Structure 1
Amino acid sequence: MKAIGLIGIVTTAFVVGLSGAMTPGPLTLVTMVRATRNGVKAGMKVCLGHGLVEALLVLALGLGAGAVLARSSLAGAVAAIGAVVLGVMGFFLIRDARTASLDEMTALMAEERNELGPVVAGIGATVGNPYWIMWWATVGVSYIVLASRFGSLGLALFFGGHYLADIITLGIVSAVMAQGRRWLSGEWYRRLLLIFGVFLWGMAAYFLYSAWQFWY
């Protein structure tokens, strides 16, 4: 019975995580940007940053931090901070869209191979998303309660199933975007950066609106 329960936890954690990972959001967009500019490895580093945050969060929830995450004031603060972060990222993309070139993109790939920039971007895109906080304060906490019945192994399998969904989804996104840049002209590359930047600004505006709703 315990084995069946553990299999159920890892399986459902994967399926639910897959549905969440496939929903477009800041993390997906940042992954697309990094993979387009710096290749597949950069996209997967974004996923690594996301995973580090979630691993710490699962540990915190296992120790009883769920009630803190459920506070609307915290969600509002996260939304406001996320709006600023996304707004700044969008600004730099729109600025770069004016002069960016494919030669510059190739240079960026060489420069960022050993840097933590994509990892930090993954962390920022994760903690700056209020709906990520809300998911973990509700669905995530429920899963933690169920998984904790099986001790540390249950929590580890839950996280493993959940994060595997992120790896697969963001890995596919990274591969598609990295391969797609081979057919990009300089003009279309600049247009793509502009589109990404505008989308980030749109998300920033939505997060600001969400912060207002959480607070008032």
Structure 2
Amino acid sequence: MGLLGIAVTAFLVGLSGAVAPGPLMIVTLERAARFGSGAGMRVCLGHGLVEAVLVIFLSLGLGTILAQPRLVGMVSAAGAIVLLWMGGSLVRDAYRTDLVLNTTVKSGGSNLSLGMVGAGMAATLGNPYWLVWWATVGASYVVMASQFQAPGLAVFFGGHFSADVLVLGLVSLLAARGSRLIATGWYRALLTVLGLFLLGMAVYFGYSAWQFWYG
């Protein structure tokens, strides 16, 4: 497979993963609805930074380490804790009296922007199935792309991440526009549902950690 084939297939495979519901999708929806589409893209940036670092590590041959069940179990447990915190905070914030819809992230709001990037990183690192995917499918792609050295890795990552940008960018735009059209009561209900989803994912990841360790 040449560079063009790697780029196209990486995009299509990445697209299938990007559209799947999960912590990253939920966090993107929530941040974009509350702070605008730019916030959702900052979440996507945090996700991309983590994946860029991981591609470098995988190119150095660390894929077998990532596939160790105990390590995946540790990631599952950490993810459960992070999602419990994020989900609980979201449900709590949904019923704050000073809830504001769709506050634009301005260029001067560096702390808020960094918080969005950090949320994307946390939602990514806290998902054990993201790690499993990269230790298997992703690692295979990295090995194939490594035949073309740095250009191959760049093309693979570009194709893969562009799928995330497309999907999460569209989700961010729709969430930001939609938040302007719904009443505050419905918006609080939406945040509550999203928070409960994250709490449910936390329970599921906690169970997965138990399975990886003792199953």
Smaller-chain TM-score bracket: over 0.9
Q: Which residue of 1 aligns with 2:3?
A: 6
Which residue of the partner structure matches residue 72 of structure 1? Answer: 69
Work out whether 1:105 is the aligned partner of 2:94. Answer: no
CA distance in 2, matches of 1:100, 1:153: 52
CA distance, structure 2, for counterparts of residue 195 and residue 152 of structure 1: 43
Q: CA deviation at 1:105?
A: 3.0
One-letter amino acid of the structure 1 residue matched with residue 137 of structure 2: V
**In the alignment, which of 17, 20, 25 is matched to residue 23 of structure 1?**
20
| Equivalent residue, structure 2, for 1:126 | 124
Report the aligned-residue RMSD: 1.6
For residue 107 of structure 1, report the CA deviation from its aligned partner: 5.0
Amino acid at match of 2:196: V
Amino acid at match of 1:123: M
Q: Deviations over 1:153-211 (max 9, x none)?
A: 11110000000000000000000100001111111111111111100100000000110
Could you say if the C-alpha distance between residues 214 and 139 of structure 1 is closer, same or farther in structure 2, counting changes exceeding 3 Å? same
Q: Is the 8 A contact 1:28 1:170 kept in 2?
A: yes
- Asked whether the equivalents of residues 101 and 189 of structure 1 are also in contact (C-alpha less than 8 Å), the reply is no
Contact 1:37 1:109 (8 Å CA) reproduced: no
* Aligned twin of 1:37: 34
How far the C-alpha of 1:99 sits from its partner, in A, is: 2.6
Quick one: distance in 2 between partners of 1:184 and 1:133? 36
Cα deviations across residues 27-60 of structure 1 (Å, max 9, x unaligned)?
0000001000000000000000000000000000
Q: Give the 3-state SS of the residue equivalent to 2:20 in structure 1.
A: coil
Distance 1:113 1:181, change over 3 A: farther
Cα 1:126–1:162, aligned 2, differ >3 Å: closer, same or farther?
Answer: same
CA distance in structure 2 between the partners assigned to 1:105 and 1:182 by the alignment:
7
- Counterpart amino acid of residue 122 in structure 2: G
Distance 1:59 1:9, change over 3 A: same
Given residue 105 of structure 1, which amino acid in structure 2 is its aligned partner?
Answer: L
Query: What's the counterpart of residue 136 of structure 2?
Result: 138
Q: 1:171 to 1:107 in 2, by over 3 A?
A: closer
Could you list the runs of 5+ residues in structure 2 that have no partner in the other structure?
none
Aligned length: 212
In structure 2, distance between residues paired with 1:74 and 1:119: 24
Q: TM-score, structure 2 length as denominator? A: 0.94
TM-score, length of structure 1 as denominator length: 0.94
| Equivalence for 1:180 | 178
**What CA distance in whole angstroms lies between the structure 2 residues aligned with 1:112 and 1:69?**
38
User: Please, which runs of 5 or more residues in structure 1 have no aligned partner?
Assistant: none
What percentage of aligned pairs have identical amino acids? Answer: 57
Contact 2:36–2:104, Cα closer than 8 Å, also in 1: no
